Amino acid sequence: MTEWLKPNDEVFVYQELLQNLDLSKFYENYRNDGEGGKFIDPVHLLGVIFYCYSNGIYSSRKIEEACIVHVRCRYLAGNMPIDHSTIARFRQKNLDGIKDLFTQFLVILYEAKMIDPRLLAADGTKIKANAALSKNKTYNRLEQMAREFVEKGQAADDAEKQSGVRETLRESATRKEIEERIKKARSIVEERHRAEVKQFEEKVHQREEEEKEAGKAKRGRKPKQPPSAPNPSDKANITDPDSRIMKSRTGYLQGYNAQSISTRDGFVLGCSVTNEENDMHQLIPVLELIHDLAARFEVTPDEICLLADAGYFSYENMMAEYSSGIDLRLSPWREQKMKDISKDCMYPHELQRICWEHSAWVPCIAGSVAAWAEEHLKEKGEWMTKEAVAQQIMGAKLVTEAGKKLYGMRKYMIESIYGIIKENRKFRSFLTRGLDGVNCEWTLVNMVHNIKLGIKKGIGSFLTHRRSGDARAIAGF
């Protein structure tokens, strides 16, 4: 097949990359006693999958076809036809292995000095699940369906006893799979209700503590107590129970919230998928992931700056900056309002300046701070809430010319990646189901993005020198 390819074809980079990766996890799933079906080397399967994903081919049947009609795929497949069921099973059985490859390739990129983890951007995007909106059923309907399937199973058993004709294994497996999905959908609705009850109890406890500390009743509405049982109209999807109804720019979809962390050069350093529509609760997992990456890349957290939009901002998330040590630039307002921020925002360094000027006398420091707080921490004669103060502090970071310029880099760092994945490579819907499956699929999509960008930046020659052990050539790359 090499006669049909140019000497510098990118397909050779894919092959070289697979020689640089540790694929031992993939070989553990195969028998070594000579029994079973035809063995297809994981090198061929991964090569074909990487190449097809980088060119917008995701369906296992389309990949099977590509192994016949595409010269590059035939080369990576060792000129062997690969069945679509083999490809589908391989992806499904190697979830952990694919995640491990993502990390391995990040290490290679770091060795090649292609990624700088000191400036990062995080964002989320909604991606359609492999399920339809019409398959969302209410809690009452789920209970009814569960009873119907129990009755249907009992009827099938009775029919077998009378006629002696057993249902096929496929029919039995399909019925049991649907039963499990319905059961899981019901449990998800019940779990949401338990979470609501727990959240209500926490709010009540917090309110009581604040009233006890203040010595008087707190103003405002009290938290509304949720019902004792799940709402009969609450819904869950019976095709993919883990997926949720989410609002996107084009309307509502049945899907997931996919998260990614990118570098200034457009490489993805980390990714995950959640079924929470809001990004606000995703910042803490992102910071934990960045801490792990910092340890791997020998960078201290205080050297890292993370950019994120208003969807991640909250008082609790801003407080995470002090515990994590990472410099956070989270916009307190949406992009349209950012232009209207005045320079009257509260500057944290004002407090530091006051303290330095009066460092000889502590009471003077306290008086100066109190006077400054009296001037800056009141709105319409009332003290600002802690959330409002947090907004002003974060706004102070972004209002300066340097702050605006730094935060302005967020758009092209992360949003351009989603544009490439969704528009250029046409990845708009997951093929797998369940959180574990879509997490693996999203990791694979982001890894392929890194591979494609690495090829563009010349990773091929580095891989060749790395495998040959040419230290001087690697150092001068």
What is the percent of the chain where pLDDT is above 70?
A: 85
Whether residue 157 is predicted with pLDDT greater than 80 in this model: the reply is no
**DSSP class per residue in 312-343:** G--HHHHHHHHHH--EEEE-SS-HHHHTT--T
Range name among 106-115, 331-340, 398-407 with the lowest pLDDT average: 331-340
Whether residue 473 is predicted with pLDDT greater than 70 in this model: the reply is no
Q: How far apart are CA 8 and CA 10, in angstroms?
A: 6
* Burial grade of 452 (CB within 10 A; 0-12, 13-18, 19 or more): buried
The per-residue pLDDT for range 20-58, each reduced to its tens digit, is 999 988 988 787 777 777 788 999 999 999 999 999 999
Residues contacting 355, CB < 8 A, separation 6+: 365, 368, 369
Q: What is the mean pLDDT of residues 247-269?
A: 92
Residues contacting 119, CB < 8 A, separation 6+: 263, 264, 304, 305, 307, 409, 413
Residue 470 pLDDT class (50, 70, 90 cuts): low
Helices (H) and strands (E) in the chain — how many of each? 20, 10
Residue 231 pLDDT class (50, 70, 90 cuts): confident
CB 138 within 8 A of CB 234: yes
| Terminal CA-CA length for the chain | 30
The alpha-helical segments, DSSP class H, found in 215-308 are 283-296
Question: Given this model, what pLDDT does residue 103 score?
Answer: 92
Question: Given this model, what pLDDT does residue 245 score?
Answer: 92
- Torsion angles phi and psi, residue 52, rounded to 5: -65, -40
Q: Residue 373: which region, alpha, beta or left (left: phi > 0; alpha: psi -120 to 50)? A: alpha
Q: What is the mean pLDDT of the chain?
A: 84
Q: What is the mean pLDDT of residues 281-292?
A: 91
Q: Which tokens sit at 473? A: 């050539």
Closest CA to 139 of 185, 201, 86: 185
Under DSSP, is residue 256 helix (H, G, I), strand (E, B) or coil?
strand
Question: Given this model, what pLDDT does residue 380 score?
Answer: 64
Residues contacting 434, CB < 8 A, separation 6+: 240, 242
What is the percent of the chain where pLDDT is above 90?
A: 38
Amino acid at 1: M
More confident: 436 or 386: 436
Q: How far apart are CA 372 and CA 364, in angstroms?
A: 12
Question: Given this model, what pLDDT does residue 269 score?
Answer: 94
Q: How far apart are CA 238 and CA 243, in angstroms?
A: 10
The per-residue pLDDT for range 336-388, each reduced to its tens digit, is 666 666 555 555 545 555 555 544 545 555 666 666 666 666 666 676 777 77
More confident: 50 or 396: 50
pTM of the predicted model as reported, rounded to 2 decimal places: 0.84
- Give 138's DSSP letter: E
- Kindly give the pairing relationship between strand 244-248 and strand 235-237: unpaired
CB 301 within 8 A of CB 324: yes
Whether residue 471 is predicted with pLDDT greater than 60 in this model: the reply is no
Rg (alpha carbons) of the chain, rounded to whole number:
28
Q: What is the mean pLDDT of residues 161-167?
A: 65
CB 283 within 8 A of CB 316: no
The alpha-helical segments, DSSP class H, found in 115-266 are 139-163, 169-214
